[in-house]
């Protein structure tokens, strides 16, 4: 294996992003080029993040990858595409820079260990955070300084949006080679300090229909998807950008919900139909609309990716009341004290009028827990060697 002679070890973290204008469907499967642009909000890494360590050594005999402590098949096409792309960019850089300043041999194999601090493959954008972190970490190990949109995108389309903090647009691009299909930050993380995000974890189980297969079927069979990409999304992107710039919560919230609803409508319009939502997801939607109707304004918005978990957007002054509404509608069965994770929220009592307005029969245990978070920064490099996930031998450190 390795004899402690690691040439370079780098550890980085990367965030989850949640799309408010959804990406669904590719025009090129291999390059992962989308049929429409999308826009996302980067969540704070204090609550949700992937941590990745990459190490290279002349003693390694093969590339190896571990995810959440388990070794993965390094031959996965998307993993291979990321490694290939990074090494291509590193070679290109080496050919234009004096070789002495790039001492790392591109022929050396790499070991990668990655952990998520949230459920994987449950519709919480784990692959986006994971591949963004992989691209960012490999780039640091191999001395690549190019735009990493293409590298991250080859792993998971929406991963390119996790390369930036704040509010991020992934431009669909028009070129066949995808060089113009890149992510860019449209507003920094501190642009809207009052914005809060609540992740309502309904099910942490792996979803039945993966996003990749779901998208392919939708592109092939859903006329609504084609209409959405060509006729609806371009105007929505413009409108969403302007709501974010103006910090117009009502506009932002309503557009977020409409776009989520339309994305799931295209899944139902797919043949055979795909359903990522379950009964609890629909009850959360109902709860949000009843809450907003009671207040006579849109104070809370939901969005759902390819999974049953809800992501709620609201403003700081509404968080406590809405958390109380969720707790009332989905009373925790056993974990009352651990029901809320992340940012601290002061408990409040709901008024009897609001309880009546919510008009839902409580569903105990319907929501397993809530993660309270806010808008956060892009990938970070961790300088402390103690946080490396790989030991001096290039193998994962035993779990603490």
pLDDT of residue 255: 98
pLDDT of residue 94: 77
pLDDT at 2: 40
At 399 the pLDDT is 74
pLDDT at 93: 82
What per-residue confidence (pLDDT) applies to 7? 79
Residue ranges covered by each domain of the chain: 8-188+383-387, 195-374
**Topology adopted by domain 195-374:** Alpha-Beta Plaits (3.30.70)
| pTM, entire model | 0.94
pLDDT at residue 123, rounded to an integer: 56
Three-class DSSP labels, the chain = CCCCCCCEEEEEEEECEEEEECCCCEEECCCCEECCCEEEEEECCCCCEEEEEEEEECCCCCCEEEECCEEECCCCHHHHHHHHHHHHHHHHHHHHCCHHHCCCCCCCEEEEEEEECCCCCCCCCHHHHHHHHHHHHHHHHHCCCCCCHHHHHHHCHHHHHHHCCCEEEECCCCCCCCCCCCEEEEECCCCCCCEEEEEEECCCCCCCCCHHHHHHHHHHHCHHHHHHHHHHHHHHHHHHHHHHHHCCHHHHHHHHHHHHHHHHHHHHHCCCCCCCCCHHHHHHHHHHHHHHHHHCCCCEEEECCCCCCEEEEEEHHHHHHHHHHHHHHCCCCCCHHHCEEECCCCCCCCCHHHHHHHCCCCCCCCCCEEEEEEECCCCEEECCHHHCCECCCCCECCCC
- Per-residue tens of pLDDT for the chain, all 400 residues: 444 577 789 999 999 999 999 999 999 999 999 999 999 999 999 999 999 999 999 999 999 999 989 999 999 999 999 999 999 999 888 776 655 555 557 889 999 999 998 765 555 668 899 999 999 999 999 989 999 999 999 999 999 999 999 999 999 999 999 999 999 999 999 999 999 999 999 976 766 777 888 999 999 999 999 999 999 999 999 999 999 999 999 999 999 999 999 999 999 999 999 999 999 999 999 999 999 999 999 999 999 999 899 999 999 999 999 999 999 999 998 767 789 999 999 999 999 999 999 988 899 999 999 999 999 999 999 999 999 999 999 999 987 6
Domain 8-188+383-387: give its CATH code: 3.30.230.10
């Amino acid at each position: 294996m390795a004899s402690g002679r690691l040439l370079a070890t780098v550890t980085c973290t990367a965030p989850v992003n949640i799309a408010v204008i959804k990406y669904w469907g590719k025009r090129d499967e291999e390059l992962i080029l989308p049929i429409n642009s999308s826009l996302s909000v980067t969540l704070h890494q204090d609550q949700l993040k992937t941590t990745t360590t990459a190490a290279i050594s002349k003693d390694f005999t093969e590339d190896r990858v571990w995810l959440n402590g388990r070794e993965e098949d390094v031959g996965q096409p998307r993993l291979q595409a990321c490694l290939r792309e990074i090494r291509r960019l590193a070679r290109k850089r080496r050919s234009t820079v004096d070789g002495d300043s790039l001492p790392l041999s591109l022929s050396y194999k790499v070991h990668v260990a990655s952990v998520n601090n949230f459920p994987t493959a449950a519709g919480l954008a784990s692959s986006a955070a994971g591949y963004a972190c992989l691209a960012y970490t490999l780039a640091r190990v191999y001395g690549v300084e190019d735009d990493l949109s293409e590298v991250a995108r080859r792993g998971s389309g929406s991963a390119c949006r996790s390369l930036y903090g704040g509010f991020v647009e992934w431009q669909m691009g028009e070129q066949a080679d995808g060089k113009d299909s890149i992510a860019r930050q449209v507003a920094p993380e501190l642009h809207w300090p009052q914005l809060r995000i609540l992740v309502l974890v309904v099910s942490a189980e792996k979803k039945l229909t993966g996003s990749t297969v779901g998208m392919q079927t939708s592109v092939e069979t859903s006329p609504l998807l084609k209409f959405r990409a060509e006729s609806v999304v371009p105007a929505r992107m413009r409108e969403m950008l302007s709501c974010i710039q103006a910090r117009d919560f009502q506009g932002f919230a309503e557009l977020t919900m409409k776009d989520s609803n339309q994305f799931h409508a295209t899944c139902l319009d797919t043949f055979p139909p795909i359903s990522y939502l379950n009964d609890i997801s629909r009850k959360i939607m109902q709860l949000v609309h009843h809450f907003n109707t009671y207040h006579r304004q849109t104070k809370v918005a939901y969005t759902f990716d390819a999974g049953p978990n809800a992501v709620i957007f609201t403003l700081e002054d509404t968080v406590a009341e809405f958390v109380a509404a969720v707790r009332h509608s989905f009373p925790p069965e056993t974990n009352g004290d651990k029901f809320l994770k992340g940012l601290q929220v002061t408990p409040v009592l709901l008024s009897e009028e609001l309880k009546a307005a919510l008009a839902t029969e409580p569903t105990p245990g319907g929501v397993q827990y809530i993660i309270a978070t806010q808008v956060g920064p892009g990938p970070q490099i961790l300088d402390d060697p103690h946080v490396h996930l790989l030991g001096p031998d290039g193998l994962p450190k035993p779990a603490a």
